[in-house]
Amino acid sequence: MDYKNFIGGKWVEAISGKRFTKINPANKEEIIGTFPYSGKEDVDKAVESAKKAFGSWSKVPVPKRGEILGKVGDILSKRKKELAEIETREMGKVLKETEGDVQEGIDTAYYAFGEGRRFFGETVASELRNKVCLTFKRPIGVAGLIAPWNFPMAIPCWKVIPALLSGNTVVFKPSREAPFTSTKLVEILIEAGVPDNVINLIHGPGTVVGEAMCTHPDVGIISFTGSVETGRRISEIAGKGLKRVSLELGGKNGQIVLNDANLDLALEGVVWGAFGTTGQRCTATSRLILEKGIHDKFIDRVVDRAKKIKIGNGLDKSNEMGPLISEKQREKVHKYVEIGEKEGANLVIGGNFYTEGECNKGFFYEPTIFTNVSPRMRIAVEEIFGPVLSVFKVNDLDEAIDVINGTNYGLSSSIYTQDVNKALTAIDTIEAGITYVNGPTIGAECHLPFGGVKNTGNGHREGGWTVYDIFTEIQTVYIDYSGKLQRAQIDA
Ligand code: UN1
């Protein structure tokens, strides 16, 4: 099937007529579809369309925009199963997880529905008599949204829905690894009543389409989730045009387990955090930091459990872990395994392509665990984005915190302990945007701020109420009803 861009209220080809093909990572013989390989001239059309719609969309009352987005939640809810299957075929993670991914889209839509009736500004006292001061949240204009493939419904919803509720119009570029789910989302936005030109979908390569979005003078804000390298590039080129830029750029998240922890709980946590989504989450647990008293016995249990993970096509409900997204990603993961071995870490399980039965048709990889990892090794600090867990042995909480803080990332973090003093010390000293106590590093809820410190981002938090700070400008208003000139700072 050949899918199209959605620009100016119509489904259209790329002007060049070029296309790319998307395959199923669990079975490379299965083609999901072909999609337009767009260029700069298509971006120009999409931005022109979005710009045209801004005047009318930004004047629709916020609660009315909220109602349309609430309908998006209704449609997603009705079609949850079907959409989860589409996602699993498109990017490989197992059905239970893709259902969760659609649910995160639903939650985001319903949150926006509610937020439409509480789009608060603030009032504050004036220093002068007979004068009121207040603020309004105003839309920015055209929002350029660039989404990754690992949460093909949730992350586009995190961006598109608050951008629209805030009154912006949208040019949305999905990843080339998740064009089909994004197409379905745009169909649903249209069905729910988002007017023509307000939402524009453009497929194609980041280096061309993304760049053109980031440099277009009529785009006011760019929101991007992806790699540090691309984030830097976006910051540079969009910053030059003084655009607002919101970046979420991955992590190297650690789970600490102290001697006093409930080990059954910590075990379930690390297996879910490290191998869920085949390790392809920015929040994935890629480091396990164990206090020495429990190190040996806990590792045995983790290895034992990881060996039992059932690998295969995510459409089969008995499977627990699907493929990696592409051959290129599998090679990258494998390269890191070789690096880890060369650095002297101890490979306890995994480290190979997984090719049993039908899996030889896809990009499967074994759950992989390294012990004896030291904090300066590359596998200790670089994001791998695969099912590879690096394990550290530490003497105490202080050393655990040094290890967890020893990377340039700072997205998610976790500590398992029954000691409230240690938990609070960890909360105070861990450098991360998100910290879990007695829970894994994954599992963020849509109504809380999401994002990280250091190279994980540039200070913004999508999700929750804070995403509305990203997608709005503040207008400050002073109303003087004294009937005379009152000079601030001068007239007492
Ligand atoms: C990501 O890791 O890319 O917290 C997003 C989680 C999900 C979102 C993750 N709710 O794991």
The span from the CA of 155 to the CA of 132, in Å, is: 39
Residue 68: the pLDDT is: 98
157, 214, 282, 446: the catalytic one is: 282
492 residues of the chain, pLDDT tens digit each:
999 999 999 999 999 999 999 999 999 999 999 999 999 999 999 999 999 999 999 999 999 999 999 999 999 999 999 999 999 999 999 999 999 999 999 999 999 999 999 999 999 999 999 999 999 999 999 999 999 999 999 999 999 999 999 999 999 999 999 999 999 999 999 999 999 999 999 999 999 999 999 999 999 999 999 999 999 999 999 999 999 999 999 999 999 999 999 999 999 999 999 999 999 999 999 999 999 999 999 999 999 999 999 999 999 999 999 999 999 999 999 999 999 999 999 999 999 999 999 999 999 999 999 999 999 999 999 999 999 999 999 999 999 999 999 999 999 999 999 999 999 999 999 999 999 999 999 999 999 999 999 999 999 999 999 999 999 999 999 999 999 999 999 997
CB atoms within 10 A of CB 391: 22
Centroid of chain to Cα 183: 18
DSSP letter at 416? E
Structure tokens at 409: 């990332």
Residue 432: the pLDDT is: 98
The span from the CA of 139 to the CA of 473, in Å, is: 6
Q: From the CA of 283, give the closest atom in ligand 1.
A: 2
The span from the CA of 253 to the CA of 441, in Å, is: 7
Residue 492: the pLDDT is: 76
* Nearest Cα to Cα of residue 95 among 360, 309, 324, 313: 313
The burial of 121, by beta-carbon neighbours within 10 Å (0-12 exposed, 13-18 middle, 19 or more buried), is given as middle
Structure tokens at 71: 């309908």
Q: If DSSP codes are grouped into helix, strand and coil, which group holds residue 30?
A: strand
Q: Please confirm, yes or no, whether 268 is among the known catalytic residues.
A: no
- Taking the centre of ligand 1 as the mean of its atom positions, its distance from the CA of residue 104, in whole angstroms, is 10
The domain segmentation of the chain, as residue ranges, is: 5-249+457-477, 253-437
Q: Please confirm, yes or no, whether 157 is among the known catalytic residues.
A: no
Q: If DSSP codes are grouped into helix, strand and coil, which group holds residue 370?
A: strand
Contact in structure between 186 and 199 (CB atoms under 8 Å): yes
The CATH number of 5-249+457-477, from 3.40.50.360, 3.40.605.10, 3.40.50.150, 3.50.30.10, is: 3.40.605.10
The span from the CA of 139 to the CA of 100, in Å, is: 30
CB under 8 Å, gap of 24 or more: what pairs does 326-335 form? 326/25, 326/177, 326/363, 327/28, 327/363, 329/280, 329/363, 329/385, 329/386, 330/363, 330/365, 330/386, 332/384, 332/385, 332/386, 333/365, 333/384, 333/385, 333/386, 333/387, 333/388, 334/365
283 lines ligand 1 (CB under 6 A): yes
Residue of 450, 461, 462, 467 with the most ligand 1 atoms within 8 Å of its CB, for mutation: 450
Classify each residue of 338-349 as buried b or exposed e, where b means 16 or more C-beta atoms within 10 Å of its C-beta.
Answer: eebeebebebbb
User: Whole-structure pTM over 0.85, yes or no?
Assistant: yes
Residue 286: the pLDDT is: 98
- Taking the centre of ligand 1 as the mean of its atom positions, its distance from the CA of residue 155, in whole angstroms, is 9
* Nearest Cα to Cα of residue 261 among 439, 444, 431, 395: 439
Task: Please count the helices (runs of H) and the strands (runs of E) in the chain.
Answer: 15, 19
Cα separations (Å) of 377 from 343, 390, 395?
Answer: 7, 10, 19
444 lines ligand 1 (CB under 6 A): yes
Question: What is the dotted CATH code of the domain comprising 253-437?
Answer: 3.40.309.10
- Taking the centre of ligand 1 as the mean of its atom positions, its distance from the CA of residue 449, in whole angstroms, is 12
Q: pLDDT per residue over 57-87, tens digit each?
A: 999 999 999 999 999 999 999 999 999 999 9
Residue of 282, 384, 412, 441 with the most ligand 1 atoms within 8 Å of its CB, for mutation: 282
- Taking the centre of ligand 1 as the mean of its atom positions, its distance from the CA of residue 268, in whole angstroms, is 17
Instruction: Considering only CA atoms, give the Rg of the chain.
Output: 24
Query: Residue 490: what residue type?
Result: I
Contact in structure between 286 and 390 (CB atoms under 8 Å): yes
Q: pLDDT per residue over 384-403, tens digit each?
A: 999 999 999 999 999 999 99
The span from the CA of 189 to the CA of 24, in Å, is: 25
